[in-house]
Amino acid sequence: MKAEWDDAPEWINSRRKRSAAAVLLPGLLGTCITLGVLYFASQALLKGTVQQIIEKRQLPKPVPVAEIIRAEPAANKDWDSLVNEAASRHIEAEPPRATEQPTPNAKQTVFNDLNYTPQGAVNIIQATSTYPIEKPAPKINKPKEIVVVGKESRLRDLCPHREGSIERRNCRMRMDLNGGR
């Protein structure tokens, strides 16, 4: 059954049509309120952050990881004096000779091949046996021989399977009878 809008009751037919201003006004109002709240919240947060920076006034200076010192130019160095200083340091720090015997109570401060005296290990404990060790009897692998007297063995007696079957081939391999048929 088909009906036309003209036939509908008046209370259904009289819908109010909303204007564009009625739809746009609540949306605009909600957006403005939200933006105002966000603005004031950000200002309060920034005021707290700025206030903390002002109170600190000056941040502590970071400690340098390494300090770079420029060397003097090579022209300013007196190489003769540097060589003499190095030679005098070498003469002063020369270790005592092996002919000198250190006193027994003196602590050894110079270590080289000439004054090396080996010492034994300090933490050695003698191992003791907790149970007697028995030597196992030596195993002798003698080949086993089976001798049957009075009976002739045939392949059929050893491998009773039919000729050419897989079972018979496997049996012959186990018995090591591949030499003859």
pLDDT at 181: 47
Q: What DSSP line would sit under the chain, residue for residue?
A: ----GGGS-HHHH-PPPPPHHHHHHHHHHHHHHHHHHHHHHHHHHHHHHHHHHHHH-SPPPPPPS----PPPPGGG--HHHHHHHHHHHHHHTPPPPTTSPPPTTSPP----STT------SS------SSPPPPPPPP--PPP----SS----HHHH--SPTT-HHHHHHHHHHT-TT--
What is the pLDDT tens value at each position of the chain, 181 positions in all?
678 878 888 877 776 667 778 888 999 999 999 999 999 888 888 877 777 777 766 666 777 777 777 776 656 667 788 888 888 876 755 555 555 555 566 787 888 888 888 887 888 877 777 777 777 777 777 777 777 676 666 666 677 778 888 988 888 888 776 655 4
Evaluate if pTM is beyond 0.85. Answer: no
Spans of all domains in the chain: 156-181
pLDDT at 33: 96
